Structure 1
Amino acid sequence: MFWKFDLHTTSHIDTLLEKEDVTLREVMDEDDVLQECKAQNHKLVEFLLRPQCMEDLVTFITQEPSSDVEEKIKYKYPNISCELLTSDVSQINDRLGEDEKLLMKLYGFLQNEPPLNPLLASFFSKVLSILIGRKPEQIVDFLRKQEDFVDLMIKHIGTSAIMDLLLRMLTCIEPQQLRQDVLKWLNEEKVIQRLVDMVQPSQDEDRHSNASQSLCEIIRLSRDQMFQVQGCSEPDPLLATLEKQETVEQLLSNIFDNEKNESAIVSVIQILLTLFETRRPAFEGHMECPPGMSHSSFSVNHSILEAVRPRLKDFHQLILEPPKKNVMKTTWGVLDPPVGNTRLNVVRLVASLLQSNTHNINTELINLNTMGVILDMYFKYIWNNFLHIQVEICTAMILAMPCAPTDFQPNTEQEHARESILIKHLFQKCQFIQRIIDAWSSNEKEQAEGGRRRGYMGHLTRIANSIVHNCDKGPNGPQIQQLISELPVEDREKWETFICGQLTDTNKRNTVDLVSNHIDITDVFIFTSLPLCPTAFSDYQMQQMTSNFIEQFVLILHDWTSRCKEKIQQFEDAGSDEEDIWDDKDVTFAPESQRRPSSGSTDSEESTDSEEEDVKRDPFEASNHSTDDRMEVDTDCDGWLETSVASPLSTSSKDCESAKVEEETVCCEQRSITETVINGSMKETVSLTVDAKTETAVFKRFAKHLHTKTATYVCKESILNVMTGTYTSEYIHVHLHHYTS
């Protein structure tokens, strides 16, 4: 029996450690050293805890390897050392966290001159991060004793691993009181101000990027912490410092009072955008304030807006004169100058400022005509969709958001009729309506001459639809209607013609019809798709999804028509002894490749017949075939809506003269075939029923949206008189609650 044998295998490391003169490098050369360490092999852990071994492990990750070491193994031992020290073995954590000599050796890595070796920096950051999480009190106490710690962190902020370490100190320190003490300490060390000083043209791009990202993460982490820790009475000192007006003013001074530097400008804008990311209502609706939080936490700090407002003219000038960019040659032409990252981020900032919906900000933007300049860019750079989406956001917010508290004008009918000064500026000064119509007409002219559709037309369609929607249902509807009515007669007529003609036609093309009843008697039936979620698929995808149904059932209907004619001939010949083709037989559905040999695609992977055989093969065959090839007959009607037409449109069938014929007629009164196909989130069942007695063919389609509690069932029932070709079609739309498992 297997228990008679000792299946325990002694690790080679255990044997190796029995040698008195074994070295750390020899142990680290073993393939399973990391696994044995994580498994807390007693002998291995005791060996690693030796003072010399611990010192060597720290040395490996803090000192540059010798230049004469072969490149492929140059960082082998530093990597293994890092993995051993971060294997989360409590004895190793205790020894490293409590031995100040080892900590000083580890800390010495920060005292190297920049730039730090990025790989060694990642090892150092990983080890110290583990210690911060496992031994927070000891590590924080040690770091606070080092007077140059914050200076060194800022000095090396251009190294991403050091930035990560700084953020780790803000997120992984527990308990909460200790974390609050760390925040106060870092704030006293002016870490925010020092990071702000890094974002200016005199520093390199790495420092710009990492300092900006650090400040952005501090903002987000601080706000998240406010939600996670309920009842926390103490504010985050770092966040409070960042939101001060003088801090924001210093950021703006860095980029505007010196030479223009795109990296610095973009980094500062990223910080401002993050400051504007507070959990506040979007322009579509309002979000309630969570319990225990004041509403002021959900709006942009007033001091930030006050710091930004005087600099709006400088941001406006950046749109007009961005930092110098080289001419860019593209497949669509030459961009001189290109939009550039600076201008794109300035437009993003404008969109964020508009969302704050502050009267002073709005007034300044109007005075500068910033929206007019942004619209100029929109129509000039026809292929920059990053710009187009930001402009669309700007216009959507202006049209949909309520008036700012002081945005009102006196009116004879009311003492204070509230009006949006931004909407008035957009329609009057910026000539919003006229520019949309002109751009649309210009695009159509180019397309008529063989040109391509402009890249902004999709966004322009949505902008035009936004005007129409807000004119009818938006909070500023009366004002928009009034402004449109004040347009010159020619422009107003053009707009009305546009929204009733070109815009309506475009919306129809962009919307997949739920149903279609286009009939071609030559091909009997041509059907379009029935998607319950029109935007889920493109027009091309929907065409491909339904092409199989169309071709299959055209063949089916023709086949049933011919069979009906044969059957009627049999009714007329009561004395015929031929086999009844309508006798109970299994109906099979031919594979796709056998029905449509010329399509180039197949629904059945088992079909290997030649093209010639495919053409000759009957799409409906008798049983004698594997069940895999048979058409699925769906008899489960649970959850599906069934309908029928009350009065069939057909001529009366001929009376049967014999009982035998009557019996046959009963057997074959209705023969139906049903196929169910699931594609994506839509399930569609299509059935064809031929009533030989009334000589009618009934075609039904059922569509159902899967995975939803509320499903929409759409049934299309069509009837064709086999003899005369008389056709009717009826649609039934029913909304039911259908609970799926």
Structure 2
Amino acid sequence: MFWKFDLHTTSHIDTLLEKEDVTLTEVMDEEDVLQECKAQNHKLVDFLVRPQCMVDLVTYITQEPSDDVEEKIKYKYPNISCELLTSDVGQINDRLGEDESLLMKLYGFLQRESPLNPLLASFFSKVLSILIGRKPEQIVEFLRKREDFVDLMIKHIGTSAIMDLLLRMLTCIEPQQLRQDVLNWLNEEKVIQRLVDMVQPSQDEDRHSNASQSLCEIIRLSRDQMFQVQGCSEPDPLLATLEKQETVEQLLSNIFDKEKNDSAIVSVIQILLTLFETRRPAPGYFCMFEGHLEICPPGMSHPSFSVNQSILEAVRPRLKDFHQLLLEPPKKNIMKTTWGVLDPPVGNTRLSVVRLVASLLQTNTHIINMELINLNTLGVILDMYFKYIWNNFLHIQVEICTAMILAMPPAQSENPEINRDQDQEPVRESHLIKHLFQKCQFIQRILDAWSSNEKEQGEGGRRRGYMGHLTRIANSIVHNSDKGPNGAKIQQLISELTEDDKERWEAFTSGQLADTNKRNTVDLVNTHHIHSSSDDEVDFKDSGFHQDSSLQQAFSDYQMQQMTSNFIEQFGFNDEEFADQDDVVDIPFDRISDINFSLNTNESANIALFEACCKEKIQQFEDAGSDEEDIWDEKDVTFAPEAQRCPRYGSLSGVISSRKCCMICLGWLFCDGCPVVSGPMWTANFDDIPMDTGSSTSIGAPAPATTTATASPSSPAVLPESAGWSSPNASPDTATGWADFSSNFSPVR
């Protein structure tokens, strides 16, 4: 509507551009310059693509502003210039991507000395990234001619915007063949080796972090690309270089053969963890989720989704160095916390080493497992678990390690032990479980920690921070001893405990652990009766609501909805048949035409009975002149036990008043227990839908009349006749006052 009536106002930029001496800064001072540029205002675009304007725009994003410029507008024009150059206008992209002099001016920003201005670096990276996406052939050709491009990228890798630009070249270049050429070119330039050299103690933390993140993203992006483009015959050269044994060995040499540096160690471990990632695990690998270990379903045995053996071969000789890091981490200052002093604190290095151990356990490699056993790395990790009682980052990793050991079947390379007496097949034994229970005294340490915590809590102390994880570890032992693949071995190791330890464990699992699990269990379904906020309990079955309460009204409305739903269900209608049918008005009522009604009733008797019920209902108001009681006091209406039950919907004692029950039944004509409608008999003929009617009880009858009728296609269902209220002599021929539904409906056209 806005454009239809031409209510928009003309931009002031059009008027400004008509001046012969207009400058670029004057145009950029306009508030709507960016909107007009993205809307491809022809006058504005033609002005911006002028040679001098393009040079000025590139200069703004590559040259440091003068120091004497006011701070609030110091980066105003560089920011607007970047937005104009990246507005994705075809003419601007063509002029910038095809003019080598402009590209050289833009490229000159990389040739500056470190450190680069981070804000200008972000402008430069954004402009070059959009050119890579829109003009890939021209930009790649231009960059390949620059012999120092890779050197400059590595030199400035500590600037996050430059790292983003490098990753952009790996993800945003199309078509696939061009991307493969770029990968081969970067691999020939040894970009992986150069990034690896950045992760060493002699470099600063920014280079450690960005180089590590770049290598991790290269691994993930390459693996994802290989999975998505399965028809690609050439492997990813960058990923292949990263997974080589000598590359991993160089990474490990950077942190172990030189001085210990916390940032470098953590960065290298992060790269290793990414190499150990299995996006789609091959058969035999395990998935850990929320403390539960499950065998991953068999998937693709693709090399990019399983751990390369060369990586494990490079890591194995260095396990002793990682173990030593747990014992002697890089020096950390004493940390004061709200509950005490940490001397030394856990530190990021030791936490990363524990995460690495968890990933190594997931590979379930025999030679790695045996090395960890010989070093007693698991014992050191458990010592840390019970020492640092508030470090949940550590606790969850230890829980993962123990869950892996308990749930993993023995590694394939382990030597089987043969039970020769029973001449059975070879049975593999998990050396890790044996080491955990015997050398590390797993059961005893759990029991001691639990008892110590309860004693401390009993003296008024706090519950220790690892108790939740300890509960799940204990449950994991119980679960795997019963249902796990190592159940027999776990039970054997528990039976070999001393008598005192066995008794303590049995008492713990049946007592304290069971009680804790019970307290931690939440009932999802509450089967108890609903209680009101007052002292009076509301029982929907045995006691009634007050006659004038809002709760009675709400429950009556609910009954109405339930009766409507049952009616629809019995007569076979569904939601679609009640929807609006404005577009299909010629659909015939096929199912309704199959239903024949024959109703018999005595209207005068029903009216008389209805008036009697109403009179009984308002009887309390006739005594308004009495001095003995207040007519406005709340009073309860008492019904006979059988009269309070709706024969169709069960015991609804006092829930629905006589009048409401009558009105509901008169409306729907299927509550044969109601005194208003139950008297006359009515029949319904359903040719296609058989119906069974159960027993019913008449209100006010001396004894309940029970009749069972079975409907079939040839015999109509007959509702039971209620004793005391029926008119046995009534017939369809003598009934008056009711519509005759005996004839079939004709289709609606």
Distance in 2 separating the partners of 1:4 and 1:494: 85
Q: Which residue of 2 aligns with 1:361?
A: 368
Distance in 2 separating the partners of 1:3 and 1:94: 31
Distance in 1 separating the partners of 2:478 and 2:3: 82
Superposed counterparts of 1:686-725, under 5 Å: 689-690=652-653
- Please state whether the residue corresponding to 1:501 is helix, strand or coil: helix
Distance in 2 separating the partners of 1:224 and 1:5: 51
Deviation of the 1:298 alpha carbon: 2.7
Q: Which residue of 2 aligns with 1:338?
A: 345
Deviation of the 1:7 alpha carbon: 3.8
Superposed counterparts of 1:147-296, under 5 Å: 147-279=147-279, 280=281, 281-283=285-287, 284-290=294-300, 294-296=301-303
Matched, 1:91 2:65: no
Identity percentage of aligned residues: 79
Distance in 1 separating the partners of 2:114 and 2:645: 86
Gaps of 5+ in 1: 518-526, 529-548, 565-580, 590-619, 640-657, 675-686, 694-741
Call closer, same or farther: CA 1:667–1:438 in 2, change over 3 Å: closer
Call closer, same or farther: CA 1:557–1:263 in 2, change over 3 Å: same
Distance in 1 separating the partners of 2:560 and 2:339: 54
Q: Which residue of 1 aligns with 2:497?
A: 487
Deviation of the 1:689 alpha carbon: 4.2
Matched, 1:636 2:562: yes
Structure 2 residue identity aligned to 1:380: K
Q: Which residue of 2 aligns with 1:521?
A: none
* 2:439 aligns with one of 426, 429, 436: 429
Query: Contact between 2:159 and 2:206, CA under 8 Å: does it hold in 1?
Result: yes
Q: Which residue of 1 aligns with 2:624?
A: none
* 1:326 aligns with one of 333, 343, 349: 333
Distance in 1 separating the partners of 2:523 and 2:639: 43
Distance in 2 separating the partners of 1:217 and 1:340: 25
Q: Which residue of 1 aligns with 2:80?
A: 80
* 2:356 aligns with one of 345, 349, 356: 349
Q: Which residue of 1 aligns with 2:531?
A: 550
Cα deviation code 1:332-363 (max 9, x no counterpart):
11111111110001000000000000011000
Superposed counterparts of 1:14-93, under 5 Å: 14-93=14-93
Structure 1 residue identity aligned to 2:203: Q
Range with greater deviation from structure 2 (118-127 or 481-490): 481-490
Structure 2 residue identity aligned to 1:176: Q
Q: Which residue of 2 aligns with 1:311?
A: 318
Deviation of the 1:555 alpha carbon: 2.7
- Please state whether the residue corresponding to 2:313 is helix, strand or coil: helix
Q: Which residue of 1 aligns with 2:625?
A: none
Call closer, same or farther: CA 1:406–1:83 in 2, change over 3 Å: same
Gaps of 5+ in 2: 288-293, 567-611, 617-636, 657-749
- Please state whether the residue corresponding to 2:561 is helix, strand or coil: coil
Q: Which residue of 2 aligns with 1:444?
A: 454
- Please state whether the residue corresponding to 1:496 is helix, strand or coil: helix
Deviation of the 1:515 alpha carbon: 6.3
Query: Contact between 1:400 and 1:474, CA under 8 Å: does it hold in 2?
Result: yes
Structure 2 residue identity aligned to 1:550: H
Cα deviation code 1:155-206 (max 9, x no counterpart):
0000000000000000000000000000000000000000000001110000
Cα deviation code 1:261-295 (max 9, x no counterpart):
100000000000000012313251133334xxx44
- Please state whether the residue corresponding to 2:65 is helix, strand or coil: coil
Call closer, same or farther: CA 1:563–1:214 in 2, change over 3 Å: closer
- From the two aligned structures, give the one with the greater strand fraction: 1
Matched, 1:501 2:508: no
Call closer, same or farther: CA 1:634–1:243 in 2, change over 3 Å: farther
Moved runs in structure 1, 4+ residues, more than 4 A?
1-6, 514-517, 558-564, 629-634, 658-664
Matched, 1:669 2:644: yes
Deviation of the 1:665 alpha carbon: 3.6
Structure 2 residue identity aligned to 1:502: Q
Matched, 1:302 2:309: yes
Query: Contact between 1:96 and 1:102, CA under 8 Å: does it hold in 2?
Result: yes
Alignment TM-score, normalising by the size of structure 2: 0.73
Distance in 2 separating the partners of 1:408 and 1:9: 85
Larger radius of gyration: 2
Matched, 1:410 2:372: no
Deviation of the 1:664 alpha carbon: 5.7
* 2:377 aligns with one of 370, 377, 381: 370
Distance in 1 separating the partners of 2:532 and 2:639: 31
Query: Contact between 1:403 and 1:419, CA under 8 Å: does it hold in 2?
Result: yes
Query: Contact between 2:417 and 2:429, CA under 8 Å: does it hold in 1?
Result: no
Alignment TM-score, normalising by the size of structure 1: 0.73
- Please state whether the residue corresponding to 1:201 is helix, strand or coil: coil
Distance in 2 separating the partners of 1:185 and 1:169: 12
| Structure with greater contact order relative to length (CA < 8 Å, sep ≥ 6) | 2
Query: Contact between 2:201 and 2:254, CA under 8 Å: does it hold in 1?
Result: yes
Cα deviation code 1:238-274 (max 9, x no counterpart):
0000000000000001011111110000000000000
- Please state whether the residue corresponding to 1:451 is helix, strand or coil: coil
Call closer, same or farther: CA 1:465–1:5 in 2, change over 3 Å: closer
